[in-house]
Amino acid sequence: MAKKYPVWNEEIETMPRNELQKLQLKRMQETVERVYSRVPLYKKLFDGAGVKPADLKSLDDLAKFPFTVKQDLRDNYPFGPFAVPLKEVSQIHATSGTTGKMTVTGYTKNDMKIWAEVMARVYAAGGTKKGDVIHNAYGYGLFTGGLGFHIGAHEIGATVIPVSGGLTQRQVTIMQDFGSTVLTATPSYALVLAEAVEEAGLDPKKDLKLRVGFFGAEPWTDKMREEIEKRLSLEAYDIFGLAEITGPGVSVECPAHNGLHIAEDHFYPEIIDPSSGEPLPYDTPGELVFTTLTREAFPLLRYRTRDRTVLHAEKCDCGRTVVRMGKIMGRTDDMLIIRGVNVFPSQIEDVLLSFAELSPHYIIYVDRPKDMDVLTVEVEASEKLFNQGRDTLKDMEGRVKKGLAEALFVSCGVNIKEPLGIQRSAGKAVRVVDRREL
């Protein structure tokens, strides 16, 4: 039996599902009305689809309404999708914009309160409370990670250290000297910190007080979780969110670690078939779609996240009745098609991390010399492996190649680098470099 911690918002998080659904319907009707009357983008989308706010009589009716996609937000950059005048907006964030124009999101005072509330639920899910010292290594700035974890820490009354990303050795000193008990970071940066802890000659069990960590903002596998838990001596919780919906706090694991509970009173989830757009039943994997139920400044209807996962609705051991989403299996747009075969970066990570001789830092390159897709993986050797010399490395490359070919059904080059041979990142790691369009 998993640990039991107090649920932050007992009334909502353990509400009987039929009551929760009533609340969701009422809020969804308000949202539909709000976007139709205030946001020209939605007026156009609704009219195009021939629907009116009054058509939403049940939760199932949502399927009649149009989707919103990232391009809609870009086309109305920066503030077109806002449902309030700018003077009512108290905070603005944006996504990194690595795949195009920035996506902008805004919050009213009340939106900020709700964000703090859902982040408090996140912390409480992992037993974090007043008295904890939270080492927040998510980036501060336009990215929602840093500030989201920051306001949630205040909401639960804990002490927060706004370290942000970077200056890694100093972070280790801070963790040790300030007695950090909770670590919040991207999983890839957590590994960088683990490395720095080892480099400083510290034993995380004895020299650090870390107890739990909340890791998210990028995909990570269960093998990565084991690695982080072992090397930092803490219990790792997966947390999910996206700037468009609110930032971190959309969902989080509980101590049962069997999926991430969604704050369903604020964010209504659907799973759809990504090609037909048809809604899929619980327990069937597909693309995750969200409708915000309480956002004032930036309400979104049926927003297609491109993330692939599955929803489960049965009650959890922890007592929560809100649905659980499975660990993100990747994005519908991060699937690589290599010579016609679908390959997900998470499959590659699973294979790489099954070799104890390798360290969990890697980059996947895709090239197309002469009309032929070529997949190459660069991964780091552990210190021990590297010191065994060239022949052992060559032999190891052969084994990894074989392991990948068996898992992916497509051949893949493997290049084992020296320790620290792969660039570290302080935020979200770049794991795939697709050079085919270049």
The footprint of ligand ADP (CB under 6 A) covers 95-96, 143-144, 216-219, 238-243, 305, 307, 328, 331, 428
Per-position x/- string for 251-270, each x denoting binding to Zn ion as judged by CB under 5 A, each - no binding = ---x-x--------------
Helix (H) or strand (E) run with residue 432 in it:
strand 432-434
To the nearest whole angstrom, how small is the minimum distance from the Cβ of residue 29 to Zn ion?
A: 29
- Of 46 and 220, which CB lies nearer to ligand ADP in the complex structure? 220
264 binds, among Zn ion, ligand ADP, none (CB under 5 to 8 A by kind): none
- Of 8 and 303, which CB lies nearer to ligand ADP in the complex structure? 303
Cα–Cα distance between 258 and 249 in angstroms, integer?
17
254 binds, among Zn ion, ligand ADP, none (CB under 5 to 8 A by kind): Zn ion
Buried (b) or exposed (e) across 400-420, using 16+ Cβ within 10 A?
Answer: bbebbeeebebebebebbebe
Let me know the angle formed at the C-alpha of 188 by 186 and 193, rounded to the nearest 5 degrees. 90
To the nearest whole angstrom, how small is the minimum distance from the Cβ of residue 322 to ligand ADP?
A: 17
For the chain, the C-alpha Rg in angstroms (whole number) is: 22
- Of 116 and 316, which CB lies nearer to Zn ion in the complex structure? 316
293 counts as binding Zn ion under rule CB under 5 A: no
CA nearest neighbour of 426 among 98, 191, 174: 191
256 binds, among Zn ion, ligand ADP, none (CB under 5 to 8 A by kind): Zn ion
To the nearest whole angstrom, how small is the minimum distance from the Cβ of residue 217 to ligand ADP?
A: 5
Contacts with Zn ion by CB under 5 A: the residue count is 5
Let me know the angle formed at the C-alpha of 110 by 216 and 74, rounded to the nearest 5 degrees. 60
- Measured over all CA atoms, what is the biggest interatomic distance in the chain, rounded to whole angstroms? 71
352 counts as binding Zn ion under rule CB under 5 A: no
CA nearest neighbour of 244 among 111, 428, 85, 49: 111
143 binds, among ligand ADP, Zn ion, none (CB under 5 to 8 A by kind): ligand ADP
322 counts as binding Zn ion under rule CB under 5 A: no
- Of 36 and 240, which CB lies nearer to ligand ADP in the complex structure? 240
81 binds, among ligand ADP, Zn ion, none (CB under 5 to 8 A by kind): none
The Cβ of residue 175 has, within 10 Å, a number of other Cβ atoms equal to 28
Residues of this chain, 297-316, that bind Zn ion according to CB under 5 A? 316
To the nearest whole angstrom, how small is the minimum distance from the Cβ of residue 264 to Zn ion?
A: 13
- Of 107 and 240, which CB lies nearer to ligand ADP in the complex structure? 240
Contacts of 262 (CB under 8 A, 6+ apart): 250, 251, 269, 311, 322, 323, 324, 325
To the nearest whole angstrom, how small is the minimum distance from the Cβ of residue 228 to ligand ADP?
A: 13
Cα–Cα distance between 297 and 86 in angstroms, integer?
9
Helix (H) or strand (E) run with residue 184 in it:
strand 182-185
Contacts of 406 (CB under 8 A, 6+ apart): none
To the nearest whole angstrom, how small is the minimum distance from the Cβ of residue 250 to ligand ADP?
A: 8
171 binds, among ligand ADP, Zn ion, none (CB under 5 to 8 A by kind): none
To the nearest whole angstrom, how small is the minimum distance from the Cβ of residue 184 to ligand ADP?
A: 12
Cα–Cα distance between 73 and 69 in angstroms, integer?
7
Contacts of 131 (CB under 8 A, 6+ apart): 158
To the nearest whole angstrom, how small is the minimum distance from the Cβ of residue 126 to Zn ion?
A: 11
The Cβ of residue 55 has, within 10 Å, a number of other Cβ atoms equal to 14
362 has which bridge partners? 379
Interface region with Zn ion, contact rule CB under 5 A, candidates 42-50, 276-284, 319-327, 428-436? 319-327
To the nearest whole angstrom, how small is the minimum distance from the Cβ of residue 266 to Zn ion?
A: 18
User: Which parts of this chain interact with Zn ion (CB under 5 A)?
Assistant: 254, 256, 316, 318, 320
